Structure 1
Amino acid sequence: MIENLLMILIGLSIVNIGINLIKKPKVDIKPQLKQVEDLMVKFDLTLERTEKSIKDEFQRNRTESNYLSKANREELTNSLKSFEGKFTENIKELNELLRQKFGDFSIQQNEINKQTTENVKEVKLSVENQLKSIREDNTKQLDEMRKTVDEKLQKTLNERLSQSFETVGKQLQAVQEGLGEMRSLATDVGGLKKVLSNVKMRGGIGEIQLSMLLEQILAPDQYEANVKTKASSADLVEFAIKLPGRDDSGTNVWLPIDAKFPKDIYEQLQEAYDEGDQARILIAQKNLDNTIKKMAKDISDKYIDPPNTTDFGIMFLPFEGIYAEVVRKAALLEDLQRNYKIIVTGPTTLAAILNSLQMGFKTLAIQKRSSEVWQVLGAVKKEFENFSGIMEKAQKNIQTGLNQLDDVMGKRTRAIQRKLKGVEALSEAETKNILPELSDGSLLLEDENDDL
């Protein structure tokens, strides 16, 4: 700090001398230079004294630090020696205590083992005696049970054998009857096979099933059978649904539905699936696709004729198996809809479509007859107003009758009682003699019956 101040003073002196030289170039600067030299000498002396003082201070600090470090090391060494001695004594005491505890525990364990051994021996003897007694009792009971079971088994066996022989006889008779039924069933199956092998009959089965679905869901006036839907064709579609036209002229638009049943192709595909022959499966699938496309083209060419019909038709497959085989091929369905405008349905999907159409028919009928509904509601409102007036009049008449009845039952009865107050009442026996018809309350019952 002092060195810095001296350096600043010297610097200021030099600057002052320089300024004076600039301002007064003719002034003698020797005294000032002498003064600067004296200051420099004083600065050197001060610097030497400061340096010596700092060195002495560092020396004293180093000596004191060494002394303190030595004292700390000696104190730490003494503390460690004292801790080591105490720790050794504690370890010895702990070892002695553990030795005593383990000795006591060993003695207690020996006593417990002896006591446990004696208890186990006593329990073993008791258990052996009890087991011996139980075995003897079980032997006696088993002998008795064996005798009883043998007797019952013999009796039951005889009864069951008799029942079994009787049951077997009945079952043999039932089997014989079943064989006769199987023969008749085989005959029926053969007849069914002949029917299904006939192309015309197969078409009839699909047509019958389609007819049943239409009868169950739609009203008779909502569809027709054997309809000529295309003006340029004489072919008749099996069924066509009547859809309302776009105007109110009453003209119908037909939705043609035709049943198809490619039985032979489907049977070939099922046989290929059963055999697991991949080549045959691919061939049968291709044949089925071609057959379905041919049938779709036939329906499209013969029955679809917009605007007399919808711009699409429905092919009905009467069995879900054939329908599932067709619909699992998205490309085939897309081809049928795009090129032939045909939607393929099975029994379930056709029922859903018909239900949707039925809901549409009901909604349309409600819309057409909404004005009639409002007229009926207006008439009902008018009749209800008339009914309300009549009910008010009836209520007034009933209230008038009740008031008159209160007058008769109240005022008139009290007046009659006042008039008869001086008349002496007869006994019950005399009353029965004079008025026998009132003795059993028959007159009162007759009056009640008349009122009812």
Structure 2
Amino acid sequence: MTENLLMILIGLSIVNIGINLVKKPKVDIKPQLKQVEDLMVKFDLTLERTEKSIKDEFQRNRTESNFLSKTNREELTNSLKSFEEKFAENIKELNELLRQKFGDFSIQQNQINKQTTENVKEVKLSVENQLKSIREDNTKQLDEMRKTVDEKLQKTLNERLSQSFETVGKQLQAVQEGLGEMRSLATDVGGLKKVLSNVKMRGGIGEIQLSMLLEQILAPDQYEANVKTKASSADLVEFAIKLPGRDDSGKNVWLPIDAKFPKDIYEQLQEAYDEGDQARVLIAQKNLDNTIKKMAKDISDKYIDPPNTTDFGIMFLPFEGIYAEVVRKAALLEDLQRNYKIIVTGPTTLAAILNSLQMGFKTLAIQKRSSEVWQVLGAVKKEFENFSGIMEKAQKNIQTGLNQLDDVMGKRTRAIQRKLKGVEALSETETKNILPELSDGSLLLDDENDDL
């Protein structure tokens, strides 16, 4: 530490001398240079001694460190060896203890197994004896039940057989009657098939169903049957709905509705579905599409004639099955609406359309009658004003009568009471004897009648 301080002082002295030399350049510097050289020599000697001292110190530290490391390794080796020996002894003791415990446990387990085996044998014998007793009792009871059941079964069987034979006889008779009804039903079905196979009759069925829907929803003056809607055609549409015109001329615009029933094509499609023949299904679907298009074209050419009619018509399919098959194809519906201006409906959808039209008719009627309603409201307002004046007069008259009544009930009553103050009051019985007409209220009623 001292040597380090000495080196620092020498360095500071050299720096100080250098600074002085710089500040005083004209002074003779040889003595000072000599002094600096001496200091430099001393500084070198001091530096060598310091370096040697540092090296010796490092050597001593390295030697001590090696000695300590060796000592620590020896102590650690001895400790580990001692720990291994002690751990081995503990493991040995633990093994001996476990061997002893497992030996005792094995003996106890053998005793428990032996005791359990004896208990199981006893329980088994007891259960076997009880089961034997139960089996014997069950056998006896089953024999008794079998006898009882056989007797009752024989009796019941005889009764049931008698009833069954009687019932079978009645049912055979009913079957014979049913066969007669089936023959009659077959005849009716045959007639229905003939009707459905007749194109004109099929059209009649659709027309009847369409007529029933119109009758149920619309008023008779809102539609007509067998209407000529196109001036250049003599064909009559089955039904046409009267819609209000676009101006106030009162001329109606017709909405044509025609019923169609492609039964044969639809039956071919159903047969193809039932057989699962995909090729036939595709052919039948195509035939149905073409048939529907022809029917739509027929309606469009014969019955649609704007402005006498709407710019579209309605094709009514009388059965939901055919309608569902048609509406499955969005392209077909779009083609019918775009090229032929035809809307396809079934019973349900047509009913919804008719209900919407009916609501429109009601709204239109309300609009047309709104001026009449306004006039009625004006008359009611005038009458109410007259009624209000009459009520005010009546109120004044009633108030005048109440004031007079208060005067009579107040002043006059008190005056009469003062006059009669000295008169002795009679008992109720004497009063009834003298004035019997007061007992039943007849006088009061007479007074009320006089007032009325």
TM-score range, shorter chain: 0.7 to 0.9
Q: Is the 8 A contact 1:312 1:341 kept in 2?
A: yes
- Cα separation, 1, equivalents of 2:181 and 2:50: 139
For residues 166-208 of structure 1, what are the alpha-carbon distances to aligned partners after superposition, in whole Å with 9 as ceiling and x for unaligned?
2221221222112111211111121112212222111111111
Change (3 A) 1:281 1:5: farther
For residues 261-290 of structure 1, what are the alpha-carbon distances to aligned partners after superposition, in whole Å with 9 as ceiling and x for unaligned?
122222233333344444443333332222
| Residues 1:436 and 2:436 aligned together | yes
Change (3 A) 1:58 1:18: closer
For residues 81-102 of structure 1, what are the alpha-carbon distances to aligned partners after superposition, in whole Å with 9 as ceiling and x for unaligned?
3322332333233233323332
Q: Is the 8 A contact 1:304 1:310 kept in 2?
A: yes
Q: Is the 8 A contact 1:223 1:239 kept in 2?
A: yes
Q: Is the 8 A contact 1:230 1:305 kept in 2?
A: yes
- Cα separation, 2, equivalents of 1:154 and 1:439: 91
1:418-429 alignment to 2 at 5 Å? none
Aligned-pair CA distance for 1:314? 0.6
Aligned-pair CA distance for 1:427? 15
For residues 204-227 of structure 1, what are the alpha-carbon distances to aligned partners after superposition, in whole Å with 9 as ceiling and x for unaligned?
111111111111122222211111
Q: Is the 8 A contact 2:4 2:50 kept in 1?
A: no
- Cα separation, 1, equivalents of 2:260 and 2:170: 47
For residues 28-62 of structure 1, what are the alpha-carbon distances to aligned partners after superposition, in whole Å with 9 as ceiling and x for unaligned?
65445444433443332233223212212211221
For residues 115-157 of structure 1, what are the alpha-carbon distances to aligned partners after superposition, in whole Å with 9 as ceiling and x for unaligned?
3223222222221221121111111100100000001111111
Change (3 A) 1:444 1:190: farther
Q: Is the 8 A contact 2:227 2:236 kept in 1?
A: yes
- Cα separation, 2, equivalents of 1:446 and 1:157: 91
Give the 3-state SS of the residue equivalent to 2:225 in structure 1: strand
Aligned length: 452
- Cα separation, 2, equivalents of 1:334 and 1:237: 23
Give the 3-state SS of the residue equivalent to 1:309 in structure 2: coil
- Cα separation, 1, equivalents of 2:241 and 2:3: 122
Give the 3-state SS of the residue equivalent to 1:110 in structure 2: helix
Give the 3-state SS of the residue equivalent to 1:164 in structure 2: helix
Q: Is the 8 A contact 1:228 1:236 kept in 2?
A: yes
- Cα separation, 2, equivalents of 1:11 and 1:425: 154
Q: What does residue 298 of structure 2 align with?
A: 298
Q: Is the 8 A contact 2:260 2:295 kept in 1?
A: yes
Q: Structure 1 stretch 130-139 or stretch 111-120: which is displaced more? A: 111-120
Q: Is the 8 A contact 1:203 1:259 kept in 2?
A: yes
Give the 3-state SS of the residue equivalent to 2:242 in structure 1: strand
For residues 333-377 of structure 1, what are the alpha-carbon distances to aligned partners after superposition, in whole Å with 9 as ceiling and x for unaligned?
111111111111111211121122222222333333344445556
- Cα separation, 2, equivalents of 1:121 and 1:413: 119
Change (3 A) 1:428 1:14: closer
Give the 3-state SS of the residue equivalent to 2:25 in structure 1: coil
Q: Is the 8 A contact 1:304 1:313 kept in 2?
A: yes
Change (3 A) 1:122 1:400: farther
Change (3 A) 1:113 1:36: same
Give the 3-state SS of the residue equivalent to 2:234 in structure 1: coil
- Cα separation, 2, equivalents of 1:234 and 1:287: 29
- Cα separation, 2, equivalents of 1:434 and 1:28: 177
Change (3 A) 1:411 1:128: farther
| Residues 1:161 and 2:161 aligned together | yes
- Cα separation, 1, equivalents of 2:130 and 2:444: 91
- Cα separation, 2, equivalents of 1:130 and 1:338: 92
Change (3 A) 1:108 1:397: farther
Change (3 A) 1:28 1:267: same
Change (3 A) 1:309 1:3: farther
Q: What does residue 402 of structure 1 align with?
A: 402
Change (3 A) 1:323 1:23: same
Change (3 A) 1:249 1:2: farther
Q: Is the 8 A contact 2:10 2:43 kept in 1?
A: no
Q: Structure 1 stretch 12-21 or stretch 244-253: which is displaced more? A: 12-21
Give the 3-state SS of the residue equivalent to 1:258 in structure 2: strand
Q: Structure 1 stretch 200-209 or stretch 223-232: which is displaced more? A: 223-232
- Cα separation, 1, equivalents of 2:442 and 2:116: 102
Q: Is the 8 A contact 2:230 2:305 kept in 1?
A: yes
| Residues 1:202 and 2:199 aligned together | no
- Cα separation, 2, equivalents of 1:205 and 1:425: 98
- Cα separation, 1, equivalents of 2:193 and 2:288: 21
Give the 3-state SS of the residue equivalent to 2:343 in structure 1: strand
- Cα separation, 2, equivalents of 1:26 and 1:45: 32
Q: Structure 1 stretch 42-51 or stretch 59-68: which is displaced more? A: 42-51
- Cα separation, 2, equivalents of 1:46 and 1:299: 132
Q: Structure 1 stretch 342-351 or stretch 16-25: which is displaced more? A: 16-25
Q: Is the 8 A contact 1:253 1:310 kept in 2?
A: yes
Q: What does residue 356 of structure 1 align with?
A: 356
For residues 386-411 of structure 1, what are the alpha-carbon distances to aligned partners after superposition, in whole Å with 9 as ceiling and x for unaligned?
88999999999999999999999999
Q: Structure 1 stretch 291-300 or stretch 259-268: which is displaced more? A: 259-268
Q: Structure 1 stretch 432-441 or stretch 317-326: which is displaced more? A: 432-441
Change (3 A) 1:418 1:92: farther
Q: Is the 8 A contact 1:230 1:302 kept in 2?
A: yes
Question: RMSD value over aligned CA atoms?
Answer: 5.2
Aligned-pair CA distance for 1:332? 1.6
Q: Is the 8 A contact 2:7 2:47 kept in 1?
A: no
Q: What does residue 23 of structure 2 align with?
A: 23
Change (3 A) 1:413 1:97: farther
Change (3 A) 1:297 1:22: same
Q: Structure 1 stretch 275-284 or stretch 135-144: which is displaced more? A: 275-284
- Cα separation, 2, equivalents of 1:38 and 1:369: 138
Aligned-pair CA distance for 1:112? 2.2
Q: Is the 8 A contact 2:7 2:46 kept in 1?
A: no
Change (3 A) 1:30 1:420: closer
- Cα separation, 1, equivalents of 2:2 and 2:436: 158
- Cα separation, 2, equivalents of 1:239 and 1:26: 142
Change (3 A) 1:367 1:164: same
Q: Is the 8 A contact 1:10 1:36 kept in 2?
A: no
Q: Structure 1 stretch 426-435 or stretch 3-12: which is displaced more? A: 426-435
Change (3 A) 1:194 1:29: same
